[in-house]
Amino acid sequence: MAKRKNQKRRSKKYQVNNRQLKAKRMYKDTIFRMLYHDKENLLSLYNAVNGREYTDPEKLQVVTLENAIYMGMKNDLAFIMDMNLYLYEHQSTYNPNIPLRNLFYIADEYQRLVVRKSLYSTVIQKIPTPRFLVFYNGTKEVEDRSEFRLSSAYENPTENPDLELRVTMLNVNDGHSSDLMEHCRTLKEYAQYVARVRKYAAKQDVSLEEAVTRAVDECIEEGILAEFLLKNKTEVIKVSIYEYDKEFEEKKLRKAEYEAGRQDGIEIGRQDGIEIGRQDGIEIGRQDGIEIGKRILLEKIIKKKLKKGKSTEQIADELEEDINIIQKVVEKLKSQI
């Protein structure tokens, strides 16, 4: 009993100052955030992730910052449980910059939590331990569980960085993370719903609104997120259309960036190829120049990533290139040292 009272007292220490300015709606909600805005659903997700069996949703102290927006991005869910501060993010786009984003979020969270305390006190000000998770359901093939580190972004990597932040990414696409899905029904059904939307939206003769509406209606009929979808049907359809459009536009943007980089690489290859041809007294054709340029450009990129401490596997994944090709270039570079 004494322990429970003590935990309750400690929990009150982290009550957030509610005197905040109203947030401008510069963003749209996601289905994930709508679903887990419900404390019972959020507790179910927490239990599944952490192997717990809590039954009282009121044990969760939600501290999501409604106006914590950085470059149009906001954190999805933040809550305190068992004296830990959890930041849950949903991502449909593969984003290795999530540790840096979470650094901004956690700084804001801590600032709110200790706003009335003196950081110049001789007594250490206790703060809840942070935990960072990303629930990923994009189309890029990833492991069921992976990790991002803030130190991967450092220009001058060190073995033991003074500042580190680790983010665990869980693949919550339909057919992945089976153990997690079996322990969290809402997450499993959410994955099934997203898979339906993508399936029907991929059809050429169906509009996006028709695809989303069909997915919603089928899921209700089959008991997949039925209560949630019935209660929020109109909003879910609107948000799902926005989410899918956003995902589609991001794919187009990445493709455009790739094509621009490819054209730049070809031009560099042509120029470098011609120059090498002149130096060697050999007439190198345009195609040979392009291939040589591509190889030179690839070596330059790999060299920079090696300096940042990236492994061969990480480089291959980031460049979406065959690991055997990357390995050969790495071996060549090492032999030149």
Q: Are 170 and 145 in contact (CB under 8 A)?
A: yes
Structure tokens that stand for 139 in this block: 């189309």
What is the Cα–Cα distance from 221 to 213, expressed in whole angstroms?
A: 12
pLDDT at 25: 37
Instruction: Report the candidate in 123, 98, 126 with the shortest Cα–Cα distance to residue 114.
Output: 126
Q: What percent of the chain has pLDDT over 70?
A: 75
Q: What is the pLDDT of residue 69?
A: 46
In this predicted model, what pLDDT tens digit does every residue of 95-110 receive, in sequence order? 999 999 999 999 989 9
Angle at 49 between CA 84 and CA 78, to 5 degrees: 45
Q: List, in sequence order, every residue forming a beta bridge with 89; answer none if it has no partner.
A: 134
In this structure, is the dihedral angle defined by the CA atoms of residues 76, 80, 82 and 86, taken in order, positive or negative? positive
Q: Please, which pLDDT band fits residue 274 given cuts at 50, 70 and 90?
A: low
11 vs 200, higher pLDDT:
200
The tens digit of pLDDT for each residue in 288-313 reads: 666 776 778 888 888 888 888 888 88
Query: If you average pLDDT over residues 59-87, what whole number do you get?
Result: 79
Nearest to 49 by CA among 95, 15, 98, 84: 84
Measure CA of the first residue to CA of the last residue in the chain; give whole Å: 65
pLDDT tens-digit profile of 20-58?
A: 333 333 345 789 999 999 999 999 999 999 999 999 999
Give the Cα separation of 49 and 197 in Å (integer).
Answer: 25
Q: How many CB atoms lie within 10 A of CB 183?
A: 17
User: Which pair of structure tokens corresponds to residue 57?
Assistant: 């949703």
Distance, in Å, from the CA atom of 262 to the CA atom of 197, rounded to the nearest integer, reads 32
Q: pTM, whole model, 2 decimals?
A: 0.68
Q: Is the pLDDT of residue 66 over 70?
A: no
**Mean per-residue pLDDT over the chain, rounded:** 82
